[in-house]
Copies of this chain bind each other. A is one copy, B any other.
Amino acid sequence: MSERKLDLGWLRIFEAVGRLGSLTGAGAELGLSQPAVSYQIRRIEEQVGAPLISRMHRGCKLTTAGETLFRAVHGGLERIDDAARQVRASLSSPVMRIFTDYGFASFWLMPRVAEFRRLHPGIDVHVVASQGLEGAFDGTSDAAILFGRRADFPGEARLLMPERVVPVCSAGYRARYGPFDDPRSLSRQPLLHLDTVGKPRWLTWTTWLAVQGVEREPAQGDLGLNTYGFVIQAALSEQGIALGWIGLVDAHLAGGSLVAVGPEVRRDDCGYWLVTTGEGNERRKALSDWLLSQPQ
């Protein structure tokens, strides 16, 4: 179905008359009667202060003044119509892709994305979760949400969530092996590690303990897992104590399935960053605005 043209009044009428050399022909094309076209041309001639067409017995011709104005009107209409098409095309792109890691996808994004879809029913959101950064900037995503420090990202990246980490375990675990009033008490427990290839960008148990001034040799009961979902799942099944990122474990803390068992460590320079990929358009901006407006 062809798109509906913007109402541009006499501009469309004049352009059609100039192009077709006929008031009747222009009216036929625009769905107007011939006197309506005649009326509009005369009114604009009054505004300009010069004849724009010379009327022949059958048909008409642009005057020199008319040709000058016609070129400008024709060019202007092309630009405005192009812009309208571009706006509409950008509205009809139905899928928004968000690239992120598994942890953020599972614990933060998926629970919330329903609200975005409710606010923007015409938009489908696809979450593209990955282990690393490969594919984050290959142009197929509309936004990337990635963990790292400020210097890891382009200047226009926005901090979505600063890194705030607290040790957590299940309430049952604490009841059985706790209480853990002193950070040093954690060093005697099996700790759950989030493994990665290469140097981790997020806070680790090593760093957490060092901040507390606690020395610990690697205990034999420690567990290493390669996705954060597995880490939380192990904590929930009372296999040890995990690090909990505020923002990701909020629902578990609120529901009581996990409890905090130590002080929070915070690194304001680190966190989840929003990087908008590709050229800005209406939907991408809507997505960014929504992500940035979420309460922390």
Q: Chain A interface (Cβ within 8 Å of chain B)?
A: 4, 6-11, 44, 47-50, 63-65, 68-69, 71-73, 75-77, 79-80, 82-84, 86-88, 90-91, 280-282, 284-285
What chain B residues lie within 8 Å of A90 (beta carbons)? 64-65, 68
Of B64, B73, B86, B284, the residue contacting A80 (CB under 8 A) is B73
Task: Write out the residue numbers on chain B whose beta carbons fall within 8 Å of the beta carbon of A65.
Answer: 87, 90-91, 282
Q: Is the CB of B282 within 8 A of A64?
A: yes
Known pairs A8-B11, A64-B281, A65-B91 / 16 extra A-B pairs, C-beta < 8 Å: A4-B47, A6-B48, A7-B9, A9-B9, A11-B80, A50-B88, A50-B91, A64-B282, A64-B284, A64-B285, A65-B87, A69-B84, A69-B87, A72-B80, A73-B80, A76-B79
CA distance A8 to B80 in the complex (A): 13
B91 touches A49 (CB 8 A): yes
User: Known contacts being A71-B83, A80-B72, A83-B68, is A88 close to B4, with CB within 8 Å?
Assistant: no
The residue from B9, B44, B50, B91 contacting A282, defined by CB atoms under 8 A apart: B50
Chain B residue nearest to A70 in the complex (CB): B83
Copies of this protein chain in the complex:
2
Shortest Cβ distance from A89 into chain B, in angstroms?
A: 10
Give the docked Cα–Cα distance between A11 and B72 (Å).
15
**Most B Cβ at <10 Å: residue of A50, A83, A88:** A83
Contact yes or no, B80 A69, CB < 8 A? yes
Kindly list chain B residues whose C-beta atoms are within 8 Å of the C-beta of A80.
11, 69, 72-73, 76
A8 to B84, CA, bound (A): 17
**Chain B residue at minimal CB-CB distance from A67:** B280
Do the beta carbons of B64 and A72 come within 8 Å of each other? Answer: no
Which B residues lie within 8 Å of A9 (CB)? 7-9
Contact B75 A87 (CB under 8 A): no
Report the Cα distance A4→B49, complex, angstroms.
Answer: 10
Can you give 29 contacting A-B residue pairs, CB < 8 Å? A4-B47, A7-B9, A7-B10, A7-B47, A9-B9, A11-B80, A48-B84, A48-B87, A48-B88, A49-B87, A49-B88, A49-B91, A50-B87, A50-B91, A50-B282, A64-B90, A64-B280, A64-B281, A64-B284, A65-B87, A65-B282, A68-B83, A68-B90, A72-B79, A72-B80, A72-B84, A73-B80, A76-B76, A76-B80
